[in-house]
Structure 1
């Protein structure tokens, strides 16, 4: 690649991410979060609110409307944003050696952190043993409903493919189909191939493609900027809808399980803080302050994909990460770095083995670790998909698929919490890679 192409592919960070967030967005999101929870509890029939059971669903649907519009705007542009961001991130590096350096470090890093998350999930569920806190009579009363819910989930589970078939299935042979089904892993792989190809082309030929990618990214960021103006209202509506429908009784009834999952997620966050301080050499306080906007948005939207534009912005603006690192790590992390989801799936699987009296041998536990790590890679970064993946994992360890129905009531709240951990992991990876990957010599 010539110097001319490298210069063309190296726009300023402000040009790469022309996204301006509303002033004090994190504060407005926090206000929307608190008022949404409060409104939901006031309205929820399960919490003794002003609505009855028949009124809760339609009122919650109207409350959630701004949130649905917000997520729709983000999802509308997320695929072109991922595609253009990865291409620009690769091209901005100016050389293929950078991609090789970051790839050889990033993929093992993601696998290692996912294994750590799974081990934390299995360990904390085994030590706390939340399954023993479930009353057997209550379990039998809910099992019939759970079977119906699980049957619906089973229709959506992943195909039962062999490992070679899964590898072949990752190839993006049909981008239109991948976009239709939102198969983010295929889209990321295709974007990586396109980026490497453009980087290998002569400067004169590559320049128009890079300029198109810059324009596409600017276009998507403009639409995302519009969406961000209603983010606090979206947070209010989504939280009010969830709380109106579920109330507090569901959380109380599954308190042991909820506490176990939250403790596991907290342990992962402690692990991240250790990485930030001792591996990346950064201040933990400054790091947490810098990413709070992304964390709050992740909590309210339950979507790593919806949070990705803000994650990229705070990584560059607040943390000072190189754009060439941010625009490769964040989209890739939103696809394969799901530590919170992996921990949750492992902990939930152990919880359900305790509830149904399934004893796992050491070999089966190791198999659960490997299965969970593999299943978490490529999990779509959209709300609620973790429970579908969990249904697939359970069939391999002897737990009735109906068991998934027992935890559906609290899954949405826990989905919000594990999404915070997922995007925190992506931003932690950015800080580590920014230090590990050598900077290009001037």
Structure 2
């Protein structure tokens, strides 16, 4: 057991939290606050190096995985069948996540539990949004999805642009002569091999990275930030828990896999997601787990999981709608039924392809809610506990991606056996 990655990560998580509480000025505070805050970045150094290594290869890894996943289908009918099923599935699960978030937030009413003293002490938080949402039309948003400027997309953290580019490349390679397609396929294989080797090196740092990242977070937040927002944090976690149960039900009926068995097979992925708060960092492990432990064909795993890591953000959608309704409760603003419906649609859209910068989704929703009287000051409270909730929603997001891969395996009728033999024609459902 001591040699298993998930157990080492678990030890790193535990030691990181304990050491963080011991050093935190908001907890046991055994050393002066200025010293604790100055050594926190050094403790997190290995963790930040780990994340930097993953970020360095995430774009070539995503692109090569999707291209190889599409081209490995061999038959355009298989690809068409998979694409027509995965899109409505992602929209459906995101909608369910938003509905769960709305219901649980209105039932528990976390905004009514925040102390007036905390509310009065909030300092105005300056939040910059790169674009004025009122000036962006839906057609403009659709056109912006096409990756015209790849360098700008990379600088903006817009991985979705590279996902779309990869889909175009993969589909095009399926529809041209083999001799013409082979060099680009070989390049994609080399890129993936390079990326996976860097990931392999990075994973050796994982337990130490987890320790450093969690220790750094705990030193900074201590008890105060969480205790003052306990009911809000609890509401989001309960919502994410219900969404996880929804996934387990889907897994059972789609693959006849017991919940305890499914969770046992994906525990390394969940622990890594919780520790790093990064779907990109976990994606290689998710693909490997889907193929080796869940017996998902390469064609499905290499297409669905990279795509899901970008657009299937159910945990993020639930979190965003909880945060938005929490803000309205916090400032005593009643939303009409129509406004709730608009908020739900907005949340679904905001969770798809949002930049990977922490708190951006909340900023977008808070900006929209300002139009109905929600002050921007409330964002300060949300961002105070954002990291701990980011860890939780990332765990649910990657679970959703693995669930989607099992569902697509069932719906397409595509198996590892058919991958090794002549590919069968998939019946349209």
Asked if these proteins are the same fold (TM beyond 0.5), I'd say: yes
Counterparts of 1:95 and 1:51, CA distance in 2: 64
> CA shift at 1:407, angstroms?
1.6
Distance 1:383 1:154, change over 3 A: closer
**Alignment TM-score, normalising by the size of structure 2:** 0.94
Residue 232 of structure 2 is aligned to residue 257 of structure 1: yes
Q: What residue in structure 2 maps to residue 28 of structure 1?
A: 8
Distance 1:32 1:107, change over 3 A: same
One of 184, 192, 196 as aligned partner of 1:217: 192
> CA shift at 1:383, angstroms?
4.4
How many residue pairs match? The answer is: 415
**Over residues 153-198 of structure 1, what are the superposed CA-to-partner deviations in whole Å (9 max), with x where a residue is unaligned?**
3345675411111001111112222222221111100000000011
Q: What residue in structure 2 maps to residue 321 of structure 1?
A: 296
Counterparts of 1:69 and 1:429, CA distance in 2: 31
Q: What residue in structure 1 maps to residue 419 of structure 2?
A: none
Q: What residue in structure 1 maps to residue 349 of structure 2?
A: 374
Counterparts of 1:344 and 1:123, CA distance in 2: 12
Counterparts of 1:72 and 1:260, CA distance in 2: 32
Of the structure 1 ranges 428-437 and 393-402, higher mean CA displacement relative to structure 2 is found in: 393-402
Residue 409 of structure 2 is aligned to residue 429 of structure 1: no
Residue 172 of structure 2 is aligned to residue 194 of structure 1: no
**Alignment TM-score, normalising by the size of structure 1:** 0.91
**Over residues 326-357 of structure 1, what are the superposed CA-to-partner deviations in whole Å (9 max), with x where a residue is unaligned?**
01111110111100110011011111101101
Give the conservation status (yes or no) of the 8 Å contact 1:40–1:243.
yes
> CA shift at 1:235, angstroms?
0.2
Give the conservation status (yes or no) of the 8 Å contact 1:335–1:378.
yes
Residue 128 of structure 2 is aligned to residue 154 of structure 1: yes
1:277-292 maps to which residues of 2 (within 5 A)? 277-292=252-267
Residue 328 of structure 2 is aligned to residue 357 of structure 1: no
Give the conservation status (yes or no) of the 8 Å contact 2:129–2:364.
no
One of 125, 132, 135 as aligned partner of 2:112: 132
Q: What residue in structure 2 maps to residue 231 of structure 1?
A: 206
> CA shift at 1:317, angstroms?
1.0
Give the conservation status (yes or no) of the 8 Å contact 2:23–2:29.
yes
Q: 3-state DSSP class of the match of 2:231?
A: helix
Residue 62 of structure 2 is aligned to residue 77 of structure 1: no
Counterparts of 1:351 and 1:158, CA distance in 2: 23
Q: What residue in structure 2 maps to residue 166 of structure 1?
A: 141
Counterparts of 2:92 and 2:264, CA distance in 1: 26
Q: What residue in structure 1 maps to residue 363 of structure 2?
A: 388
Counterparts of 2:285 and 2:294, CA distance in 1: 12
Residue 314 of structure 2 is aligned to residue 331 of structure 1: no
Q: What residue in structure 2 maps to residue 67 of structure 1?
A: 47
Distance 1:384 1:222, change over 3 A: farther
Counterparts of 2:381 and 2:45, CA distance in 1: 28
> CA shift at 1:385, angstroms?
3.8
**Over residues 404-436 of structure 1, what are the superposed CA-to-partner deviations in whole Å (9 max), with x where a residue is unaligned?**
111221111011000001111101001100111
Distance 1:396 1:214, change over 3 A: farther
> CA shift at 1:52, angstroms?
2.5
Please tell me the root mean square deviation across aligned C-alpha atoms, in Å: 1.6
Counterparts of 2:218 and 2:130, CA distance in 1: 26
Unpaired runs of at least 5, structure 1: 1-21
One of 386, 411, 415 as aligned partner of 2:390: 415
Counterparts of 2:242 and 2:371, CA distance in 1: 27
Give the conservation status (yes or no) of the 8 Å contact 1:325–1:430.
yes
1:72-151 maps to which residues of 2 (within 5 A)? 72-142=52-122, 145=123, 147=124, 149=125, 151=126
Residue 424 of structure 2 is aligned to residue 441 of structure 1: yes
Give the conservation status (yes or no) of the 8 Å contact 1:330–1:426.
yes
> CA shift at 1:309, angstroms?
0.8
> CA shift at 1:137, angstroms?
2.8
Distance 1:57 1:159, change over 3 A: farther
Q: What residue in structure 1 maps to residue 418 of structure 2?
A: none
